[in-house]
Structure 1
Amino acid sequence: MWTNGGNNRLVSKKNQDWFDENDETISLLIEAKRQTRLILENQPTAENKRTHKQAVADCQRGILEVQNTWWQRKAAEIQNYADQRDLRRFYAATKEVFVPTRPSVGGLKDVDGATTITDSEGILSRWKSHFENLLNDQANTPNDLICMTPQYPVRHWMSLPPSIQDFDKAITCMKPGKAPGPDNIPLELLTHGGPELRNRLMLLILKFRMDRGDFNLTRLRAKTKTTKTVLREMQYADDNATPGQTAEDLQRTATTYNTRQDQGAYSTPTWSDTPKH
């Protein structure tokens, strides 16, 4: 399998398997079962049902015999190598049968197309530079065309904090009978906790929404479900994309973005990393 114009490929599977769909015995067994199945679908009689059931049993028994024969033959082959003290063929035959192969990524060509990168760090760096050049292509758009583009009104209600009615509605929509999440708070506690617990949870949610935290690693690693939409939009802010390979890269991007926001370069909503309960 080749991708990216031949620059990236997956290594094919090399370990042996006992099942061979081109084997004549297996093909005849499967075909006989298929024919009885077609007859049963066209004429669902008791006799055809018994015939199909017998064909299924014969197919299973025949395939198990083929599997057993293959393993016996392979075991005899490996034992023969061991008796002859042919260690090279012994370990090669054992590896073909028992060692699972992992699909590995082949080399990736450099920008010049002549050098092939094989190490993992070099491949990741090459993909990073590729997407930076691909997504940060400066488009020469005329200013009059930008002015002619219709502008949608600003939806100020999206930046408003949730009300107590929204909180109650969210609790009502939660399905009962489920196990508690990573916070170990069962739904029954949220439902029957009373006004005091509800008000405290409401204040906690408002605190998370209004703390101006665009991308907080501590919150991300707390295994809470967070909104990722604004994070993706932030990556494309000002018609530029900043790929990040790790959470630390995204943290540095968010910190720089937040600093520019404080300087008045642009604004971002304060609800960007809201935990969902």
Structure 2
Amino acid sequence: MDLRTDATKVAFFRCRRFVQQRLREMQDAWMIRKAEEIQGSDSTTLLAEKSQFLKRWAEHFRSVLNCSSAISDAAIDRLPQVDTNNDLDLSPSLSETIRAVQQISSGVAPGSNAIPPEVYKHGGPRLMAELTTLLQKMWRQGQVPQEFKDTTIFHLYKQKVNRQLCDNHRGSSLLNIAGKIFTRILLNRLNDHLE
């Protein structure tokens, strides 16, 4: 007798899908419970209150991201000096803005303003002109808006043994896409200058 009828196959796959989904839910619940506490900087104290939790993450990322430079000023002074390139001081052009927008990756998470890169990529000529005007105004004023500089940092577990250690997580930053476009213009200019 062959039990592999269409009905039993469908029932088997439905049951398997349900078991896999339930198992994932149980694993997720366990991971969330494990992540509800984190070790303090002394590596012994377990922190469970949200305010302690947030302070510990802020402390961790400050220590990781705000490292002092290992390059001495004397070493920088010994670098050969080159003539000033006045083209680097020109306001961003429409073509530079379009090039920078095309170089931004699609499918990445947006920053605090929640505008994804696809809006810029498919916004058309009018959006490119308006964005260029904004970037030129920033350039003339010599000021970058705080929204372009702010980042939201969140942590991702590295799948290491102890989930409670901050070092077993890596930080990931969400940046404002318009700010990324501006920095891409600067990067392109510097790269073109070095070639």
- Output the TM-score relative to the length of structure 2: 0.40
Higher share in strand: 2
Higher RCO, 1 or 2 (CA under 8 Å, sep at least 6)? 2
Structure number, greater radius of gyration: 1
